[in-house]
Every structure is written in C-alpha cells, then in structure tokens.
Structure 1
C-alpha cells in the first residue's frame, strides 16, 4: 500500500499553536462508520454518544519535561537533547539536534554544570544517541523539572505559557516524551458526568516515545517499522474491559496510545489480561480490530501512522472525507486541536 494514499491538503494556519481557552471548549467531529455520516458537535456533547455500560479507557501517562537545551562543553555550540527512554544506570535513549555534532565522548552541559550528558554511542534511528547523565543531586526528576522544558511537537512554534495544559487532568505515571493528546479535552467535571451516567472508566499506561516523532519515510506502508513503547495494564482495569467485551458492551479508547495498548494485549493473549511489556504494533488498513469498539482521537498529520490507524478502524475513504470536511469547516489540527469520535 502506497504511503501517498494517506495524503491530504492541510493549510498551515489550521495547526493549533496553543490549547483552547477551556479544556472542553474544543469542537468534536462524530464519524458514524455504519451510516458513513459526519456530525459537527462540541466536546461537551460527548456524553450524548456514550451509553451506560460503556468502558472509557484512558492513558494515565504523564509527560516528563525532557527537552534540554545545553552547550557542547568543548566548543560552546548549542545542543538540544530530548530524553526518550531510560536504559538503566543513568543511560538514556535520546534524539539530538544537531546530531552530526555529537560523537562518542562528546559532553553536553546543562544548567552550568548541574547536569552533564556524555555521548556513548549512536542509536538505531536517525538523530538518535545514547547518553549517560551525570549529576550530583539524588533526584533526577526534580533536576529535570528545573532545567527541562515540555517536549512539544516541532509543528508547535508558540511558547506554552501553562505547562500543565500539556498534561491530561488524570495523568499520574511519569514517563512520556509526548502527551496522549486526545485526553487533553477532559475536565474532572466531564469525567464525573460520564461516570454518573453509567459509563465505566478504566486506565492503562503507555509511555509515548520515539514513535510519536518518527515520520513515515518508506514509500510503502508495509515497510515502515514502529519504535517500541512501554505499556502497563493493571488488574482492575483489565477486568472491567474483559467483562465488557464478554458482555457485548463497548470499549471506547481515548487516544491512539490506548488503542495500541489494548490491541497489543488482545493479540498477545486472545483477550484482555493484566500485563506489561513493550509494543511496536503498527495498525494500518487490513488490520482487524479485536479489543476496541470506538475511538476518541485528535486530527493527525498527513501520511502519519496515526492517520493509518484510524483509517484501519473506519475506511481510508471515510476518514479522508472526514478530514477534508474538517479542513473545510476550519477545525483545529494536531496536539492542541479539536477531537474526532469514531463510532
């Protein structure tokens, strides 16, 4: 399948540069797969599309302020490092700009010596390096809170005034290099309303890593390889989801990260069970969904793996029609943009 089949024209001004004034103030496009119908609503209308007995699955990961701006110790050149995955013993998989300046043994200084990163080797991806961190404090996370910035996607060029707006209100498990952005629309009040109407809420964790930043460079969809990301699904949530599937109730995944986790677990066991591990699942048209019955997501980049995933859930033709309509109706796109519910 040719990657160009997932291309669409997107005016740059529709890329949201900042969050909506209110978390739930975004728009909501509702796509009905069975009827092939598209409706335009507000995110606060979401409860109208949920039923008692549905299970809403949230990714509770929390974004680490992992974007570090420092200086190459030898020359003073500006270096940007994005911490992705901890490898143990203060070694980290990272992305670096500019990577060509980083050789084995290169030392990058942050915060006038408070933190140093020593390059050990290249990683398997373009722009990737393995660094060993050196610091004198006991708590690296507090140091990152002091020196680091939120790792906003490269298409967001405006400064984020409130870093907490790049966290979901239910985030609790630190470890992501990017937010599970479909969840940014929820407020505590909306979640409470949903539960009061008989919807069960379950949580899982998938720490978003390199896959979010890695474009599809292959010409054929089948040739792309996803980067592995760590996930956990606890016993209580697994029981809720498994029971719903057995009873024919809907499982609604909030975000593509929740989709990937649930489908990975079901493929692993043939049902939903508590577990943890690493997933590099790549979902594109031709895939048969087994765990997820509806998806709440944002609008994605052209030719991205996320667009391919939602195209597999509906059809490529229906999703691209919805995207063309979103452009026509001036929806806001990407991380801080509007939402789409696919039923």
Structure 2
C-alpha cells in the first residue's frame, strides 16, 4: 500500500482519482480549498478507512505528517467560468501551488505527478497534437491565466527533475467529461446537457465546425494511474483521439437526451481553439493505455448524473 497525496481532491477529476486509488488499496490524503471543488464529490471516499481530508490552499506552505510515496497535483481552476473569475488564483495555483507541492515531494522523496492540459498547445497549427509540438499560445490573451499557469508548471516540474533528480510525471489532459462535473462550470458538455434537459436551445458558438476530442472520466483516470505507475518522465497526452465538431456533439446530446431542443449560434469567444485532438501514440506505446468508452456511451452515463442535478 502506498501513501498518496491528491491536491484538488474535491474536484471532478480529483475525486474520481481518489476513489480509484482507494479501490487499488492505497492510503489517500485529499487536499482542497473548495474554491471550485465540492466535498460531496468525496462522499464515497469519506466512507473509506484509508482516506483523510485536509482543507488547505496549496499556494500556502504544505505540511503532511509521515511518509508519502506520491504527490499528485490536480488542484487547478480548469473551468473557463472559474479561471476568468479568478485569474490571479489560477496563476498562483499553477505557480506557487506547483512549487509548494514539488517541495513537499522533494522533502518526502515521493514521485510527483502534474496534471497539465492540452491548452499548452494553444490554438494549434498542427492536428492532431503530438507531445513535441510547441504550441501557439498568446501569453497576454484572454485565456492566458490558465494556459500559462500550466506551461509554467511544466517548466517547474522539469527544473525539479533536472536539479533535484525528482521522479516526475506530466499528463497533458484533453477534454474530459462525466459525472461530478459542475453544471455551472461553462464547459460544453454540461452546458449542452443542462440546456437539452430543460428544453432550451443548445448554444453553439461560431459556426460550430470547431473540433474537440472528449474523453470519458473512467478512461482518463485509468490513463493517469497508468502514467503514475510507469517510469515516463516526459509529458504524455492523455485523452481520446475521436475528434468531433461542436455541431456533431450538440446533435448527439439532443439525441441521447431525447430532447426537443434546437440549436442556436452565438459569436465565437476570442481565441477559441479551432481544433483539438491528441496524438496518443506515446500513451499507447509507453503506458499500454488507450480509451475505450465511446462518446455516446459516456454521454448516456453523464446525462444520468446531470439529470439528478438539474
């Protein structure tokens, strides 16, 4: 049994990861300041004897008693609604939070996993995006607080690896969805689900021909665990390579919910990426991982959860 700290534990991905690690027999310490996380996500974890929770802001000094085998840094304001509302907090958790958690991993001689994002590629000029693509990012743009927090975080992880010989992992997460997503977080699947379930027209920005690739949460968690258990110290894309237009997604959500909703179009937000699709050949070859939940099946399971929240 390993002893593992998970920051951002009350969030969408963090809570699912805690559940999986507990199921795998590990002791898990969850940490979250609940700016966007919800402790109700940890209902199952709180019932487990090997789980404990600390309400703490990771941008402040972190103290954890005893040994740690791994530090998994998921704390982040990943939703457009929240990072636009809290741009400084977003930058601080990517910079100071990463620094504090790296320092803890160094102190405990623990493996460190950093959850980065496909947003490090910006509005890509290469599709699909391989890990060696350097991106097309505006450091002073409307999305820069989130994009640059993750780019800086990756650089800091690399520096700790090189200077302190820290055992590190970097996951570049692509669009993920599933139960425990907040309906108010501004991402496209919960937005569409809420609109479809309440009979409102689905709001598509721009012409809807921009693409995304959606990974169901159970596949994502399997990918993160596979990365943690590997010895790969370079960034790895973790996502689903099934690329869909936003128009196709809207039609599928309407179909899955059996909704009478239509589709309306509004102006595209500035610097919204036109394409997003991971090249996951590295994950396949290095981790032996690839997603297997189809978008339709994943949406069905997600809609059941969203129905209970509308």
TM-score, length-scaled by structure 2: 0.29
Higher alpha-carbon Rg: 1
Which structure shows the bigger proportion of residues in strand conformation?
1
TM-score under structure 1 length normalisation: 0.27
